[in-house]
């Protein structure tokens, strides 16, 4: 009985904190890494605007996503390669960029799923799966960045070679000394984006 009471409190907290609807202002144009079949690179920028705060999440062209910030077992609940691909890409980017806290990134995922008509069960199941198990992906991303790996491909490296595996490609880029540069509306290193908090700022 106590477990159900605690779970109900957690769900209520998630619902009340993530009541902002998020709307995509551009559709994702992604290209598959044929060598692994699970990794994609954005071929154009993706802009996501949070209606409640009017703050925009700008995901630059060249961002590489494998949807792994949403655990594989949670992907059986939602369609990360279908209707829910945009929420998954946004979450992947927030987990890589790491200028918001992990909890803020997870709350934004919850809100984007709500906007994309995920039902009550889908929203809460995925939210709590990333809250409980998402730390592994978050920490792996932090270690990859420290090691010099990139996930935002510079323009001259976005033409993905045929049958190329992303893990091999990123190692090749590391050995060539290719670095990651934010562009367009992306936030500069060290800046905290205004979209992190779902509370209205005005």
Query: Beta-carbon neighbour count of residue 14 at 10 Å?
Result: 18
DSSP 74-126: GGGTS-TTTTTHHHHHHHHHHHHH-SS-HHHHHHHHHHHHHHTT--HHHHHHH
If DSSP codes are grouped into helix, strand and coil, which group holds residue 45? Answer: coil
User: Where do we find the tokens 């209606």?
Assistant: 51
Tell me, yes or no, whether 170 lies in a domain: yes
Please give the C-alpha separations between residue 153 and each of 65, 85, 89, 173, in angstroms, as whole numbers. Answer: 11, 20, 15, 9
Q: Is the confidence at residue 32, as pLDDT, over 50?
A: yes
Tell me, yes or no, whether 71 lies in a domain: yes
Distance of CA 201 to the CA centre of its chain: 23
Tell me, yes or no, whether 16 lies in a domain: yes
Please give the C-alpha separations between residue 193 and each of 80, 110, 188, in angstroms, as whole numbers. Answer: 25, 18, 9
Tell me, yes or no, whether 187 lies in a domain: no
Task: Measure the CA–CA gap between 18 and 35, rounded to whole angstroms.
Answer: 37
Report the number of distinct structural domains present in the chain. 1
Which stretch of 10-24, 27-41, 166-180 has the lowest confidence by average pLDDT? 10-24
Tell me, yes or no, whether 194 lies in a domain: no
Distance of CA 86 to the CA centre of its chain: 8
Tell me, yes or no, whether 195 lies in a domain: no
Task: Measure the CA–CA gap between 60 and 158, rounded to whole angstroms.
Answer: 12
Q: What is the pTM of this model?
A: 0.80
Q: Is the confidence at residue 76, as pLDDT, over 60?
A: no
Dump pLDDT digits (tens) for 82-133. Answer: 456 788 899 999 999 999 999 999 999 888 888 877 788 888 888 898 899 9
CB-CB contact of 141 with 91 (8 Å): no
Tell me, yes or no, whether 186 lies in a domain: no
Domain that holds residue 134: 2-175
Which one, of 1, 6, 22, 178, lies nearest residue 115 by Cα? 22
Tell me, yes or no, whether 189 lies in a domain: no
């Amino acid at each position: 009985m106590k477990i159900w009471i605690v779970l109900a409190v957690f769900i209520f907290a998630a619902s009340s904190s993530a009541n902002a609807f998020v709307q995509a202002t551009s559709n994702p144009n992604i290209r598959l890494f044929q060598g692994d079949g699970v990794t994609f690179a954005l071929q154009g920028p993706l802009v996501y605007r949070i209606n409640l705060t009017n703050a925009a999440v700008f995901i630059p062209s060249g961002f590489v996503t494998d949807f792994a910030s949403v655990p594989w077992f949670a992907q059986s609940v939602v369609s990360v390669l279908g209707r829910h691909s945009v929420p998954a890409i946004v979450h992947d980017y927030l987990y890589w960029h790491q200028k918001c806290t992990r909890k803020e990134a997870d709350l934004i995922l919850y809100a984007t799923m709500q906007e994309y008509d995920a039902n009550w069960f889908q929203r809460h199941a995925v939210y709590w799966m990333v809250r409980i198990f998402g730390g592994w992906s978050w920490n792996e991303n932090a270690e990859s960045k420290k090691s010099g790996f990139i996930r935002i491909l510079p323009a001259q490296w976005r033409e993905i070679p045929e049958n190329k595996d992303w893990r091999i490609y990123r190692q090749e880029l590391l050995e060539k000394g290719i670095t990651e540069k934010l562009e367009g509306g992306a936030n500069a290193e060290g800046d905290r984006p205004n979209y992190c908090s779902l509370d209205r700022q005005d």
